[in-house]
Amino acid sequence: MAKRATFKVAKQSAKGTAATTGFHCGLYTTTGLGENWELVPDTDEHGCTTASTVFRDLSAPTRTFYTVEGNAEGFLYPNVIGAMILGLGFADSVSGTTAKTHVMTAATATTDPWLTILHDGNADVGSTLERRAKDCRTTKLKIDADNNGVKWSADVAGLSLDTALGTETSTTEPTTRMLRSLGTFALTFDPAGTPVVISSNSSNAPRGLSLTIDNPTSKDDYPLWSAALGDLPRDSGIRIEGEFSGIPVQYSVYKQLMWGGASGTAPSATWKDCSADIKFTTAEEITTGIPYSLQFTLPRIRAWLDPDNYKRTGANDGRWTIKWQMYVGTATPVTATLINSVATY
């Protein structure tokens, strides 16, 4: 029976160099890490045996190469999430004294950060096996918020797995949870023209939201004389999408999103830009007036009403789900701003 588990994350100085310091040990609801072998299927073979058998004579499947795969999920706290965002291929610009502001934007492919992950399942009472995954990337990061709180989940992939040194140093995640009730939100129609706020934290706020950042990697770089992959290049571009659910939408908003503008008279194939700004904060403050927080700024998204998720109850309550996708319409398509007390990742 497992007694406890730890999942620690640190940014490496370079590919191939496992981190030994700067790990952040988070708070999670679930974690996992392990190797996934690619197998050459068993095949029928015959040889020099003279014994007759009614069974198929099969060779054992061959393990050819493996990838490290892992996942973590939990409520949103302010430290580990920063490393996970960097693992997507973001660069970090830090400012501040006690309260540190991390402005994270997508980096060039040649400078994508690599992560080291330590995982200890402690499945046997009295013994531990802390494994080390080196040269890892975050392949998916998702933020979900609803009446149960703000949660995040991440998938990771890595190049190699071995035993941790046991001397790595880490800091514990502060127990300052970001709350669904604190922060700001704005979904704005036509931000470059005549901006109209469709939904905000103070007016027509959504009842739930999700934000997903996909960062798919290619897992076909397997050199000979090695069981590990050689690299994890990005398979295609970073994709960001999500939805805002339970928004009380008026027909003027319906026309803006679906008919090309408030004066539209029929469905339009022409997209009108929107922008989104999502921020969650903690009740606790790092210094006076500055709480821990995570903010995503998306200057250009394409948004539409989901016809399968229109719900009307009672006499007057009508709610839509707005789905959206980010597109590259500005020099900086997405910015993640994290405020915590971490000096550097």
Residue 48 lies in a domain: no
Residue 335 lies in a domain: yes
Residue 54 lies in a domain: no
Q: How many domains does the chain have?
A: 1
Give the model confidence (pLDDT) of 69-121 as tens digits.
999 999 999 999 999 999 999 999 999 999 999 999 998 877 889 999 999 97
Q: 5: which residues sit within 8 A by CB, 6+ positions away?
A: 28, 31, 119, 120, 121, 122
The 3-state secondary structure of 190-229, one letter per residue? CCCCCCEEEEECCCCCCCEEEEEEECCECCCCCCCCCCEC
Residue 111 lies in a domain: yes
Residue 238 lies in a domain: yes
Residue 1's pLDDT band (cuts 50, 70, 90): very low
Residue 51 lies in a domain: no
CA distance 206 to 203: 9
Domain with 307 in it = 6-35+67-340
Give the model confidence (pLDDT) of 167-187 as tens digits.
999 999 999 999 999 999 999
Residue with tokens 């927080």: 293
Residue with tokens 């009672």: 314
**312 vs 28, which has greater pLDDT?**
28
CA-closest candidate to residue 36, choices 228, 230, 233, 234: 228
Encode 164-179: b = buried (16+ Cβ within 10 Å), e = exposed.
beeebebeebbebbbb
